Amino acid sequence: MIKDLIQRNRSYRRFHQDVAVELETLRELVDLARLSASAANKQPLKYILSCAPEKNALIFPYLGWAGYLKGWPGPSEGERPSAYIIILGDREIKQSFGCDHGIAAQSILLGATEKGLGGCIIGSVQREGLRKALKIPVRYEILLVLALGKPKETVVIEGVGPDGDIRYWRDSDGVHHVPKRRLNDIIVG
């Protein structure tokens, strides 16, 4: 069950933009993050939810997509995410956020996968532009943006080849291929 969920939880970057994600769905996903592990149980993460087209349009320009897909500027209109969850760190609680936001992101994306949705963790964010666009107070550090929606692409896992190239690629049918290292190559002791 968990392996199946993790295998289905791929990074999706093209979506059926016309399929809405409800605010209540986003709240349920953040609730999964709320219940997840947090260093010293400080729980410094806060969230901004977006599922309205106007708010989504404010967020999209500040995101960087698929660095290895040279020449692809990111999803075009009609294939963009229909929702976002922005993960913030509350500096009034902590100054650094360790791996709390990675754990939160994974909980949210596994929950999204279970609901038939998909998403992508975006760390390549023009943070000051996004801060201004959404008027995010300086109290909050912008950690990650999670793009969410109903996936419109197929993603398949491959083994890393003998050349060791870990770069993902898209084939002529638009299928996205993600090389993963083999189990024996990552267990070192």
Ligand X SMILES: Cc1cc2nc3c(=O)[nH]c(=O)nc-3n(C[C@H](O)[C@H](O)[C@H](O)COP(=O)(O)O)c2cc1C
Instruction: Return residues touching ligand X (CB under 6 A).
Output: 10-11, 13, 64-66, 120-124, 155, 168, 178
Q: Which residues contact 113 (CB under 8 A, 6 or more apart)?
A: 5, 8, 9
CB of 24 to ligand X, least distance (A): 26
Those residues whose C-beta lies under 8 Å from the C-beta of residue 9, and which sit 6 or more positions away, are 109, 110, 112, 113, 118
Residue 80: CB minimum distance to ligand X, A: 13
Cβ proximity to ligand X: between 6 and 52 the closer is 6
Instruction: State which residue, 120 or 136, has the beta carbon closest to ligand X.
Output: 120
Strand segments, DSSP code E, in the chain are 45-50, 83-90, 118-122, 140-149, 155-159, 169-170, 176-180
DSSP code of residue 75: P
Residue 74 neighbours by CB under 8 Å, 6+ apart: 13, 63, 64, 65, 66
**Minimum distance from CB of 105 to ligand X (Å)?**
7
Q: How far is the CB of 156 from ligand X (least distance, A)?
A: 9
Nearer to ligand X, 24 or 77 (CB): 77
Closest separation in Å from C-beta 120 to ligand X = 5
Look at the chain and count its residues. Answer: 189
Distance CA(181)–CA(113), nearest Å, equals 23
Identify which of residues 27 and 167 has a Cβ nearer to ligand X in the complex: 167
